[in-house]
Each structure stands twice: as structure tokens, then as C-alpha cells.
DNA sequence: ATATGTATGTAATACTATAACAGGTCAAGA
DNA sequence: TCTTGACCTGTTATAGTATTACATACATAT
């Protein structure tokens, strides 16, 4: 359950990637390649809808609502009923390729798929960027607090809303 | 922003109150009294709907959806349209008398109103109990992780799903 | 070829939340 | 006293999010 840092995982190597200037085409391509490998290794299928859904999520370091996703998918010839989007998004989430941001009722691509990680999300209220921060110490503190009450954590959501560095400077 | 522990705040004195056997009538009465004092001190009004909404939340250490609350309120002669419930719940949340549990799309009474605190919620998936755990170290870790990316946190929600001590034993 | 599990598509519905407007109460302040 | 303005409640209508149920198609393996 502990977060392992892998140098070959771009998300681990550069945790603040989302907020920084970077070669995003490479970043997205890389995440997609990792996803494909992962799904294949598990004997599952990254079908056209699922693959396209992930690609769309990877277009930006943002969160996207299921209905916005549905609009995109429908425009490309996929079904245009809610379950089409929810099923693809749920599949990606179950496989650790996407995360659900509860505060936004939206989904975002996972930036280090395949790595066991406890995600904490930093959501910039100005530019809508969503970054996945290294949260091992955060989860450790939470687990400790829970243990105090004899509570055992199975899943957790840790989300923070605020301003990214760029938007702070823009505000000043 | 740091959490201050007050011995005269039941929630602070017994962080795991919600999961333990306790005199809940006293617990709820106390929270209501604190709420009344707090609102009066701020020159605001704990009107009948607002007060009743808080009382209903205080009936149990659980989270309650806005529509369930609306049903209760309507049965007691208050308005029966969604804004009636949402306005009361939003007021309570703004005043720190209730918290929103995003994972459940629901609200829960604050167990230590008046104390500056960063709440982390422990949600038992078996008995639906919601407890407010001391989260100062958790928020500290999160703030530190954010600072690494130059991100400044304004609000956060930290929620954990799992099994409380009692329900673990029941399962075994 | 047939059976099985899985994936997709659709219709219908349930659940959650907000916008916009009308009327009521109450306490300053003219 | 009368008026003004802030605030609270209520209603209608609508927007946004998510799931259930069922039918069809497709892959893979006997
Ligand atoms: Zn990128
Ligand atoms: Zn930003
Ligand atoms: Zn209690
Ligand atoms: Zn329990």
C-alpha cells in the first residue's frame, strides 16, 4: 500500500508536472502506452471506447465530467447515453488509469498508472488544473488517526482546492 | 488554522466518540447548545428551520442527504422544495456547524463546533457511522506536499471509507 | 457451430443541486 | 409613523449527475 517511487514513471519522477511547463504530448503518450501495457498484462481489453475515453482525459491535466465526456464520445460515433461514458470511466478508475474527483463530480487521468499510490489531488480554482501529489505521508497520518479509533481504512479521498503557483503570481 | 484541542469541547476530548458507546442525548444536546451560543455571538439567527435541521443531523453520527432532510422538514410543516433543505444545510456548513461529505453527497453535524479544525472523516461502510477524526497532522502533511509544487491550499476534504472497530469484530 | 462471458447500445428513471422570483418579517433610520 | 433595506422563507422550474434494466453484438473457447 506504500507509494513506491519509480524513476521510469513520469508522474513519480515529476510530481508537480501538471503545474509546470512540459512536453504534454509526450506526457500523454507515455501514460497511454503504460495503460495499454497494464491492461494487456491483466488480460483485459482496452476497447475503442475505453481507449478513446482515456485519450480524452489525457488531453489536459484537468477533470472532466461524465456528460462532457459523453458529448465528446457521441460526437465520434459512440453511443450517446450516460452509461456509455460512466462505464468507460468506471472501468478506467477500477484499473487505476483514472481517478474520480468527488469535489468536482468529475474524472481525471491517472498520472502514474501501474504504481501503487495513494493519490491526493491539488485542484487550482483559477486554471482548473488537477495535479496528483505524492500523498504517502498524508495517508500515513490519516491511517494513524484512524487507528486511534480502531478504524481500518479501505479507500480514501484526499482533495485540496486552492491556487497553483502560476495563478498566485497572476493574481498578484 | 491549527487545530486547538479544548477539553470543554466533547468532540475534541473524545475524538472517537461516534464509534464508541456514549450518552448520545447529552452529546447532541451539548452540540446544539454550543451552536446556539456560537450563532448568537455572531449576531446571526438560528431560525426554526435551521435549528430543526441541525437537530435532525444530530440525531445520529451519520450523514444525511439533502432530500432525506427535506422529507423530514416537510413532514414537520416546513417547505417541501429542495432549496429549503439546501439553504439550511448550507447555512450550517458556512457557520461550521455541519460538514459536507462529498463521497456520500450528504451532510453531517459538526462534533466540535466553534473549534478551528481541519476535519477528516471516517466513514464506516457497514454501520454508516461518520466520525470526525483529528486531522491536524494529516493537513500538515498535505500542506507540505502542496507547497512542494508551490500550491496554496484554501479548502480541503479528507474522507476515508472503511470499517469501524465494532463492525470489524462483527465481520470476524 | 455453439455456448459462454464480456462489451456496447438504448430507454427509462432516480438522485442531487441551483436559478429565479414572490412574499413575509423585522429593525433601523427618516 | 412611515419607509427603507436586509434577511429569511417559500414556490416553480430547470439543470446536472448517476443508475437500473433490458436488448444486442462480439469475442473466445470448446
Ligand atoms: Zn502533461
Ligand atoms: Zn492555476
Ligand atoms: Zn453522540
Ligand atoms: Zn461500523
From the CA of B67, how many Å to the C1' of C15? 9
* pLDDT score, position A7: 55
Q: By CA distance, what is A167's nearest residue in B?
A: B151
Residue in this structure with the C-alpha cell 497553483, named with its chain if needed: A164
Selecting from A16, A149, A154 the residue whose C-beta is nearest the C-beta of B133 gives A149
* B102 CB-to-strand D distance under 7 Å: no
All residues at 6 or more sequence positions from B151 whose CB lies less than 8 Å from its CB, including other chains: A16, A19, A122, A124, A131, A133, A160, A162, A163, A164, A165
Q: Is the pLDDT of residue B56 over 80?
A: yes
A103 pLDDT band (50/70/90 cuts)?
very high
Q: Quick one: pLDDT at residue B117? A: 79
Look up the CATH number of domain A15-171: 1.10.10.10
Q: Which residues of A touch B12 (CB under 8 A)?
A: none
Q: For strand C, give the nucleotides within 7 A of a protein CB.
A: 6-13, 15-20
pLDDT at A87 over 80: yes
pLDDT exceeds cutoff 70 at A1: no
Confidence of residue A4 (pLDDT cuts 50, 70, 90): very low
The whole-number pLDDT of residue B15 equals 63
DSSP assignment of chain B equals: -PPPP-TT-HHHH-TTGGGS---HHHHHHHHHHHHHHHHHHTT----HHHHHHHHHHTTSSB-B-HHHHHHHHHHTTS--SHHHHHHHHHHHHHTTSEEEEGGGTEEEE-SSTTS---EEEEEETTT-BEEEEE-HHHHHHHHHHHHHTT-EEEEEEEEEEEE-HHHHHHH-
Do the Cβ atoms of B16 and A149 come within 8 Å? yes
Look at residues B34, B64, B65, B61 and name the one whose alpha carbon lies nearest to residue B131: B61
Compute the distance from residue B126 Cα to the ligand 2 centre, in Å.
39
Question: Is the distance from CB of B31 to CB of B109 less than 8 angstroms?
Answer: yes
pLDDT per residue as tens digits for the range B80-126:
999 999 999 999 999 999 999 999 999 999 998 887 778 999 999 99
C-alpha cell of residue A105? 463530480
- Determine what percent of chain B is predicted with pLDDT higher than 70: 91
For residue A157, the chain B residues in CB contact (below 8 A) are 102-103, 157-160
Q: Which residues sit with Cβ closer than 5 angstroms to ligand 3, an ion?
A: B 24, 27
Least confident of A13-22, B113-122, B161-170: A13-22
Does residue A168 register a pLDDT over 80? yes
Q: Could you tell me the residue ranges of all domains in chain B?
A: 15-171
Assess A167–B contact: CB distance below 8 Å, yes or no: no
Contacting residues of A for B156, CB less than 8 Å apart? 158-161
Cα B30 → chain centroid: 14
The whole-angstrom distance between A146's CA and the closest CA on chain B is 7
Mean per-residue pLDDT, A79-106:
98
Listed residue (A141, A104, A158) closest to B157, CA to CA: A158
Residue entry with cell 509546470 = A20
- B121 forms beta bridges with B132, B159
Per residue in B58-75, pLDDT (tens digit) is 999 999 999 999 999 999
Q: With 90 as the cut, is the pLDDT of residue B16 above it?
A: no
Average pLDDT score over chain A: 92
Say whether pLDDT at A54 is over 70.
yes
B167 close contact with A: CB closer than 8 A: no
Amino acid at each position: 500500500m506504500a507509494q513506491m517511487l519509480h524513476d521510469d514513471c513520469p508522474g513519480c519522477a515529476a510530481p508537480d508536472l501538471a503545474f509546470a511547463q512540459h512536453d504534454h504530448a509526450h506526457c500523454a503518450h507515455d501514460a497511454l502506452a503504460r495503460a495499454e501495457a497494464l491492461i494487456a498484462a491483466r488480460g483485459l481489453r482496452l476497447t475503442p471506447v475505453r481507449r478513446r475515453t482515456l485519450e480524452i482525459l489525457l488531453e489536459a491535466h484537468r477533470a472532466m465530467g461524465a456528460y462532457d465526456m459523453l458529448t465528446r464520445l457521441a460526437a465520434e460515433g459512440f453511443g450517446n447515453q450516460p452509461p456509455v461514458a460512466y462505464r468507460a470511466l468506471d472501468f478506467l478508475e477500477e484499473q487505476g488509469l483514472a481517478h474520480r474527483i468527488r469535489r468536482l463530480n468529475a474524472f481525471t487521468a491517472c498520472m502514474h498508472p501501474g504504481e501503487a499510490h495513494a493519490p491526493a489531488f491539488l485542484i487550482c480554482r483559477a486554471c482548473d488544473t488537477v495535479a496528483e501529489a505524492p500523498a504517502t505521508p498524508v495517508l500515513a497520518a490519516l491511517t494513524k488517526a484512524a487507528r486511534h479509533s480502531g478504524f481500518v481504512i479501505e479507500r480514501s479521498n484526499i482533495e485540496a482546492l486552492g491556487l497553483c503557483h502560476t495563478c498566485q503570481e497572476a493574481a498578484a
